[in-house]
């Protein structure tokens, strides 16, 4: 029902997005199981959240646009991967091929998310999904470049390290906090020559993209 409503409200048009979301049961990635099938963000531990399903649908639609063209997505990076639902859905979008990297700077969340992935995919998930406990603002240069990058928390500006790790013809979407409680998703598209265009999309409300210490202290 949630996926059907997301499509009816035009958060996605590509049928593959619906198939991927239906293939990955959100209940395994929510702390509060009674909230798994609500189209709302749900709290995790340590001040983190799992985004509402419509935002995951929107992200998959944007980042996998033209997926059947030469652009293709073979490497996907999720910054602030939390419980790792989006990593799992991205792998489904990639037909369980390629590489998905999730970065989470809270070790307890990273370890829990690995348990979630093993529950859904079995231990073989490690062939396709790599979960790294590190500062997501710095990306993961050892796996770069990435064809698609999703940032799951609001940054005061476009993270330069992540932009550097975006592949030619790649796409990155990041919530940018403009102050005064105003945030927008910004789509960054890099062409084959390395030139990047920036497009402001819909208004959102995300938790801050910050350091591990500030997140744990609650002082953003």
The confidence score (pLDDT) of residue 211 equals: 67
Is residue 51 part of the annotated active site? The answer reads: yes
Burial pattern 19-48, b for ≥16 Cβ within 10 A else e, equals: ebbeebebebbbeeeeebeebebbebebbb
Tokens of 116: 């979630």
pLDDT by residue, tens only, the chain of 220 residues = 789 989 888 888 899 999 999 999 999 999 999 999 999 999 999 888 999 999 999 999 999 987 555 567 999 999 999 999 999 999 999 999 999 999 999 999 999 999 999 999 999 999 999 999 999 999 999 999 999 999 999 999 999 999 999 999 999 999 999 887 899 999 999 999 999 999 999 899 888 887 667 676 765 5
Structure tokens at 183: 């945030």
- Give pLDDT, residue 67: 59
State residue 56's pLDDT score.
97
Which of the residues 42, 51, 81, 83 is marked catalytic? 51
**Number of domains observed in the structure of the chain:** 1
- Detail the DSSP E strand segments found in the chain: 42-43, 49-50, 75-79, 99-103, 129-132, 146-151, 166-179, 182-190, 196-203
pLDDT value, residue 178:
86
- What CATH code is carried by the domain that includes residue 155? 3.40.50.150
Q: What is residue 216's predicted lDDT score, i.e. its pLDDT?
A: 66
pLDDT in the model for residue 69: 55
Q: Which domain holds residue 180?
A: 2-217
């Amino acid at each position: 029902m949630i996926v059907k409503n997301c499509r009816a409200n035009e958060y996605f048009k590509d049928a593959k997005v619906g198939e991927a979301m239906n293939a990955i049961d959100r209940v395994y990635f929510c702390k509060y199981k009674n909230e798994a099938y609500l189209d709302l963000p749900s709290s995790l531990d340590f001040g983190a959240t799992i985004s509402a399903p419509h935002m995951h649908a929107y992200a998959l639609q944007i980042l996998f646009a033209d997926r059947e063209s030469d652009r293709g997505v073979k490497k996907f990076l999720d910054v602030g991967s939390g419980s790792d639902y989006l990593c799992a859905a991205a792998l489904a979008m990639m037909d369980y091929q390629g590489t998905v990297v999730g970065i989470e700077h809270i070790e307890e969340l990273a370890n829990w998310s690995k348990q979630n992935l093993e529950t859904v995919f079995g231990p073989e998930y490690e062939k396709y999904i790599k979960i790294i406990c590190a500062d997501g603002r710095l990306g993961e240069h050892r796996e770069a470049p990435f064809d698609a990058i999703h940032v799951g928390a609001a940054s005061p500006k476009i993270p330069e390290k992540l932009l550097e790790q975006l592949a030619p013809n790649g796409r990155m979407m990041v919530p940018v906090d403009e102050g005064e409680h105003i945030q927008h998703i910004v789509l960054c598209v890099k062409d084959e020559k390395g030139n990047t265009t920036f497009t402001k999309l819909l208004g959102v409300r995300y938790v801050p993209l910050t350091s591990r210490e500030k997140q744990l202290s609650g002082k953003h």
